[in-house]
Structure 1
Amino acid sequence: VEMSNGCICCTLRDDLLLEVRRLAAEGRFDYLLIESTGISEPMPIAATFDFTTEEGESLNDVARIDTMVTVVDAASILNDYSSAEFLADRGQTAAPEDNRRLVHLLVEQIEFANVVVVSKTDLVSFDQLDQVHALIKALNADAEIIDAVYGQVDLDEVLGTGLFDLEKASAMPRWAQELEGHHDSEADTYGIESFVYRSPKPFHPQRLHELLAQPTATLPGVLRYKGYLWLASRPDWVGCVSGAGRMCNIEPVGRWWAASPRSRWPDDAEMRAAIEAKWTEPYGDRLQEIVLIGQQLDRAALTAALDRCLLNFTETRKGMAGWRELPDPFPGWEATPPAQAA
């Protein structure tokens, strides 16, 4: 069944619901394989199965997601991961306003997968294939990796695995697991290591921007980094930093609780205890907390590089009013932070 001219998780959602229901009603099929386009993001597709219509109908009534499979090209993934290209540069956008970069899509597709099929393995050397495996494990230590030539894959490895769990897939990519203190030893066999950089001091926006502008040079060995940060020039904001390959993105995700009136704090005692557990005077819950994942990481050198981006003693003494005047080359955020804290 082919569905075209739309997105499977929005304009084609009703069509998908109807087709899956029709096929299920026939009672002739054990499994249904949904193949989306190569530029699709997996999370919205998976969430489509939890979507309930106004009539109370859901795909979960007749089917469940068993396995999320991502296919990567062994011959091109390493170059694509280091690329600064937009999807538009390859003529592969979902809409005219689609401004996603290729590497960000690759990361999303690999991090969300239960199984990663590495195709065209016959076109690369053993060393290159090891690098591909290491990259996949750096992004998703739990993923099963299957090497394939001419697309030959045992169906038992991709059907009926029971591996998919929407809550786990959406909440715990490798970087999030590291923040929670969960380390996956299987990734160690691929030479993958990681650590969490933490500091209660704010970053100088100009120095951090310079560091992240050339991450392959300033953060050697790092394949992926993501976490939360605070810029001295934007002391009310929780920033989320996400880097892969040569590309980096920093965006706001809420306010620090320290920048919010206590009247807006959650009433739940457990949540308040979690806030207070990270509280350090004089800046409250403001904190740099960034996971770095890669190979042959020099933890001391990487930590020192990030430490140099923090405010020094003289800059710190200027206080928050002075920090707001620091040169800040990052793109602007909204003038007024949202009411909720991160």
Structure 2
Amino acid sequence: MSRSLLSAVTGNTPCVRGAVVDRLLKLSPRAVVLAVSIQAQGEGYPTVQRFLSGSGTALAGTALPGATGDPVVILRQDLLSLRRSADASHVVLAVPGDVDVLSLMVELWRPRVSSGSLGDHYDAAPLVVAVDTEAFLADIGCVHRTQLLWSGGDRGESVTRAEAAARQVEAADILVVPRPAGRAFEPGDVELIGQLNYSSLLLTSAGTDGAEGELPASLVRRLPPGADEGWRSRLEPVGPPRARRGGSGEVRTLCWRARRPLHPERLAEALAVVMSGVVRGRGHLWLCSRPDVVVAWRSAGAYLELREADRWLDEDPRCWAAASPQRRMLASWYWHDYYGERRSEITLTGVGLDQEAVRSALDKALLTDQELSLGPLGWTSIPDPLLGDIDRG
């Protein structure tokens, strides 16, 4: 039996998400839509509501019984059931904006001992994200309010609205940006969205109701085998930049790299210059105070998060086996006989960035030759105001 096609569609407003689903159904009239909503239930698992629609199933118009539990487990069961009972050739998973859709897709595709892989039953279509520019611009600068982002497990992740907006754009294989009704895009609106995810296909169209324009047939194509590995690699702390370097107008992106450790005190002093005008920043650091640890850099709006995310790969084959193919490829490309894959790489996108000032500030935060000669044992004695000093007791 041939595998069905699974599309995932989300958006930052119900209006643009629904419009894209409706237009996708014009490309695939027999598709079954599985619409999802998730509600928190105190400290326990959330309640997951699902609704079926579309002409490809006799169950159209059916609200499935609400279930409390891990959203990934519940949705996997729904998708497998649709494949068995309804024999749906194409399922559209309509995901609300409070779901970390990339993490959700990775977990849905992860093989399970009891039920195998979802890839045994479905081929993946491109992950589609619809973006209302007005809502996006309001959210990307909002760091004083938080929201729960769901993927799997018994609780969501509390993030700023700016972080949620940035993650959603970065998750897309295809970005659909409707033009606001009655007016043109504001300068830089689409440019900023496109800069945050240069590898996606960016589509613009007229009418927030989605009535104008047709979506290309590429939205319902089957991705090559291993698409889930590509999604997983985007979640790893060490990976290629997703934002486009350069830019036009006031929206610019720079990528800074270094092959020697950063001094945490000087980096802390440089942050005021580095973060000026930054809308989104992602990357990883090699801090001298933590020579074996990958420190993830993630900022959205004015909020910056630095955290210990992973360990640098060493010569232990088990470390390499656990990494994604993309991580292994990058490690081989950048491998140093003494330092291994260790390096810093940050991508910063913003409006009116002073790129020379940012690069200079970061370069000055690197260890000097004299400090570098101290070696890892000496580096760890340097105070770290960013992540705290390591307890050597």
Structure 1 unaligned regions, length at least 5: 337-342
User: Are 2:177 and 2:202, in contact at CA under 8 Å, matched by a contact in 1?
Assistant: no
What corresponds to 2:39 in structure 1? Answer: none
Output the amino acid matched with 1:146. T
**Partner residue, 1:166:** 228
Q: Secondary structure at the match of 1:126?
A: coil
CA distance, structure 2, for counterparts of residue 262 and residue 49 of structure 1: 29
Residue aligning to 2:384: 328
Q: 2:260 aligns with which of 197, 201, 208?
A: 201
Tell me which residue corresponds to 1:286: 342
Does the alignment pair 1:24 with 2:80? no
Q: 1:75 to 1:6 in 2, by over 3 A?
A: farther
**Equivalent residue, structure 2, for 1:301:** 357
Q: CA deviation at 1:119?
A: 4.7
Q: Give the equivalent residue in structure 2 for 1:132.
A: 189
With structure 1 as the length reference, what TM-score do the two structures score? 0.71
CA distance in 2, matches of 1:160, 1:272: 29
Pairwise CA distance, 1:264: 7.9
Equivalent of residue 50 in structure 1, options 82, 101, 109: 109
In the other structure, the counterpart of 1:111 is 170
Structure 2 residue runs of 5 or longer lacking an equivalent are 1-51, 53-62, 322-327
Report if the CA contact (8 A) 1:48-1:59 is conserved.
Answer: no
CA deviation digits over 1:254-283, x for unaligned, max 9?
A: 3345xx57798869xxx79965963276x5
Q: Check 1:121–1:163 CA distance in 2 against 1; reply closer, same or farther (3 A cut).
A: farther
1:150 is aligned, of 197, 208, 224, to 208
- CA 1:274 to 1:66, structure 2 compared with 1: closer, same or farther past 3 Å? closer
| Identity, % of aligned positions | 25
- Structure-2 separation of matches of 1:272 and 1:36: 32
**How far does residue 109 in structure 1 lie from its aligned partner after superposition?**
1.8
Indicate the structure with greater strand content: 2
Tell me the TM-score normalized by structure 2.
Answer: 0.63
Alpha carbons 1:122, 1:149 under 8 Å: kept: yes
Shift of 1:114: 2.4
Question: Is contact 1:205–1:233 with CA below 8 Å preserved after alignment?
Answer: yes
Instruction: Report the AA paired with residue 145 of structure 1.
Output: L
Cα deviation, residue 323, structure 1: 3.2
Q: Does the aligned pair in 2 maintain the 1:200–1:280 contact within 8 Å? A: no
- CA distance, structure 1, for counterparts of residue 317 and residue 69 of structure 2: 45
Change (3 A) 1:74 1:6: farther
Give the alignment partner of residue 73 of structure 2, picking from 10, 20, 33.
Answer: 10
Equivalent residue, structure 2, for 1:339:
none
Aligned length: 313
CA shift, 1:133, in A, is: 0.9
Quick one: distance in 1 between partners of 2:277 and 2:206? 27
Amino acid at match of 2:79: L
Residue 295 and residue 278 in structure 1: after superposition, are their counterparts in 2 closer, same or farther (change >3 A)? Answer: farther
